[in-house]
Amino acid sequence: MTEIQQKSIDLKPEEITQKDVVIAWLRFYYANEIPHAFDRYIAASLLWALMPILKKLYKDKNDLIAAYQRHLLFFNTQLAWGGGTITGIMASLESVRANDTYEGKPLSIDDNLLYNTKAGLMGALAGIGDSIDSGTMQYIFIAIALPWAQEGMAIGALFPFIAFSLYQIMIGYYFSQLGFKLGRNAATEVVGNSMQMLIEGLSILGLFMMGILAANYIKVTSSLSFELSGKNFVIQETLDKILPGILPLVVVSGLYLYFAKKGLKVTNALIGLTVILGVLAAIGIL
């Protein structure tokens, strides 16, 4: 074997396996917010996740340096839905590019395509992931654990964190494998009809859970009572017979309308709610 032939073999990209993609996803999960920077956000996290894959693909030092540099451009997305999917897609696209480079073919995956793919997906997938994970799933886990917490059980405090972490690891694993398998077409699957049905179902489930939380853990009652024709009428007893939980529902609905109109100004909402409830309690209505 000639020296040129040996060098060609040494530079040949290795095959990327599902195990490599799993490791990349777990590395991204671990390092997600650690190297957070103003100008690059979490680009360094994605690069660190992809480093073992890039080292298997690019045996030439200059090609490897170029691969590192193109994954250090601005990047920011949601952990599992965005991070998992894009990690898998980048592994797939870099594999194609590395083989083109090795075989001396015109690049079918250039720098612009790689970055535009990330830029086009990171915002859309983050929107989906935030609404499902942060807006729905974590509250479902909290609702499950609240009865345990009220009973003084440690699992009530630990369960939401453990369950949410395991959920994100599993969903990120699925999307990273999907991204690697389908490449750029993975985004179509993530935002496709079947996934939209799942998202709508989870949103409805989240609304049910929030209703359960409001009914069971928000305690607002009326102390108002009066006599009429010699008979004492207690407003709270009447409300309980007509529509139990109507006062907590009014409070939650009022907060929702405030957030919908004014934005998520939590501090202002808490101060305003405290003042309103305090005044109503002072005059004997609550």
Residue 25's pLDDT band (boundaries 50, 70, 90)?
Answer: very high
Residues 96-116 pLDDT 10s: 888 888 888 888 888 888 888
**225 three-state secondary structure:** strand
DSSP secondary structure string for all residues of 195-216 = HHHHHHHHHHHHHHHHHHHHHH
Residue 186's pLDDT band (boundaries 50, 70, 90)?
Answer: low
Q: Which of 123, 120, 68 is nearest to 94 (CA)?
A: 68
- Region 176-189 average pLDDT: 72
According to DSSP, residue 37 is labeled B
**226 three-state secondary structure:** strand
Q: Which of 46, 51, 24, 50 is nearest to 36 (CA)?
A: 46
Determine the Cα–Cα distance for residues 32 and 145; give it in Å rounded to an integer.
26
Q: How long is the chain?
A: 286
- Region 150-170 average pLDDT: 89
Are the beta carbons of 187 and 121 closer than 8 angstroms?
yes
Lowest mean pLDDT among 37-41, 83-87, 201-205, 261-265: 201-205
Residues 64-102 pLDDT 10s: 999 999 999 999 998 988 899 899 989 988 988 888 888
Determine the Cα–Cα distance for residues 3 and 197; give it in Å rounded to an integer.
58
